[in-house]
Amino acid sequence: MKQQKMNRDWIATARTLNEALPYMQRYTGAVVVVKFGGNAMGDDEAMAEFARDIVLMRQVGVNPVVVHGGGPMINDMLKRLNIESRFVRGKRVTDKATVEVVEMVLTGLVNKRIVQAIMDEGGRAVGLSGKDDDLIVCEADDPELGFVGRPTELNVQVLRDLFSAGIIPVVAPVATGTEATETYNVNGDTAAGAIAGALKADRLLLLTDVSGVKNAEGEVVTAMTPEDVRQMTSDGVIAGGMIPKTETALKAIEEGVRAVVILDGRVPNACLLELFTEHGAGSLIRSAELPPVRT
Ligand SMILES: Nc1ncnc2c1ncn2[C@@H]1O[C@H](COP(=O)(O)OP(=O)(O)O)[C@@H](O)[C@H]1O
Ligand SMILES: CC(=O)N[C@@H](CCC(=O)OP(=O)(O)O)C(=O)O
């Protein structure tokens, strides 16, 4: 182990840092919303690595916002409590008992695990849900889905206040309704897109468990316009769990987000690869009116 460390190519490390300078300059002051899906989370080591990337972003002047999911963790808890669960069009049908479990798991276990990981890496993080300071106010998405929310009002000032204080916000996708005491379960991608739209973020990164949006030949498409996405959806090439992601991407772009990237969160340092290297990662979706290069 020691020998391996000594053999490490420190010159290459220094060169990597040197080459990252223009990207760091480009993103100084930028707002980057990162959706961290439950399937992308992995073990404690992968979590620590993700947290380190987020802390590094903040260190070089980016304002990151983490919006997380936690579908697999909700599934585990529902199973332990013998509560049945099913999905319709990628969203969990959510009754009263389910929404209580969703709130406990997302705002408790999952949110605090991410906050703790960021703190452990030397950053400052504060966890909040859509209920805190009325960050996300929802109405019912569809009567068939029960307490699943569609965001109708975003109050993102609290996020800007946290940016100013040098604090990384970590948001659980649980929201308040317009009536007192209402609680809504919001799809993580939907919540991240709504927050990115309200902040007019420079980047929305959707971390998932595939390497990007694939074409009919199964190859990852590295750059797409909203028109390409619409075409691939109507051709049935974009399907299943990818639909909420690309729909979120199109809506976020309409609301003023500069670009959305769908990428594999299980790849080590996925966020750094995308933001700070020539290589980029995953599928970048942006309006055709903007220049075709990653700027
Ligand atoms: N064109 C496509 N390109 C990539 N993945 C696709 C495509 N069409 C459907 N999918 C499916 O979408 C899934 C990603 O969505 P999902 O599993 O809901 O992600 P997450 O749990 O990260 O939110 C992929 O694992 C893949 O099975
Ligand atoms: C309405 C709805 O489906 N909400 C999701 C919220 C969590 C989530 O989005 O988690 P992932 O990102 O890990 O899939 C759910 O209940 O699973």
Q: What is the CATH number of the domain that holds 87?
A: 3.40.1160.10
Average pLDDT, the chain: 93
* Residue 291 included in any domain: no
* Residue 141 included in any domain: yes
**pLDDT tens-digit map of 194-203:** 999 999 999 9
* Distance separating alpha carbons of residues 7 and 198, to the nearest angstrom: 47
**pLDDT tens-digit map of 68-94:** 999 999 999 999 999 999 998 788 999
The mean per-residue pLDDT over the stretch 4-30 comes to 85
* Residue 213 included in any domain: yes
Is any ligand 2 atom within 6 A of the Cβ of residue 63? Answer: no
- Find the domain containing 116 and state its range: 25-285
Give the type of residue at 91: K
Domain count, the chain: 1
* Residue 5 included in any domain: no
The mean per-residue pLDDT over the stretch 234-243 comes to 90
* Ligand 1 mean position, distance from CA 262 (Å): 10
Which of 225, 222, 169 minimizes the C-alpha distance to 192?
A: 169
Q: Does the annotation list 71 as a binding residue?
A: yes
**pLDDT tens-digit map of 104-148:** 999 999 999 999 999 999 999 999 999 999 999 999 999 999 999
* Distance separating alpha carbons of residues 8 and 107, to the nearest angstrom: 40
Displacement of CA 205 from its chain's centroid (Å): 6
Neighbour tally for 180: CB within 10 Å: 6
Q: Does the annotation list 37 as a binding residue?
A: no
Is any ligand 2 atom within 6 A of the Cβ of residue 37? Answer: yes
* pLDDT, position 290: 57
* pLDDT, position 90: 81
Distances in Å between the Cα of 34 and the Cα atoms of 14, 62, 140, 171, 236 are: 27, 12, 25, 10, 27
Q: Given the DSSP bridges, would you call strands 87-88 and 91-92 parallel, antiparallel or unpaired?
A: antiparallel
Cβ proximity of 29 and 63 under 8 Å = yes
Is it the case that residue 294 has pLDDT exceeding 80? no
**pLDDT tens-digit map of 51-74:** 999 999 999 999 999 999 999 999
* Distance separating alpha carbons of residues 206 and 49, to the nearest angstrom: 17
Dihedral angle of Cα 257, 191, 119, 18, to the nearest 10 degrees: -20
* pLDDT, position 8: 72
Displacement of CA 103 from its chain's centroid (Å): 18
* Residue 191 included in any domain: yes
Percentage of the chain lying above the pLDDT 90 cut: 81
* pLDDT, position 16: 87
State the pLDDT confidence band at 9, using cuts at 50, 70 and 90: confident
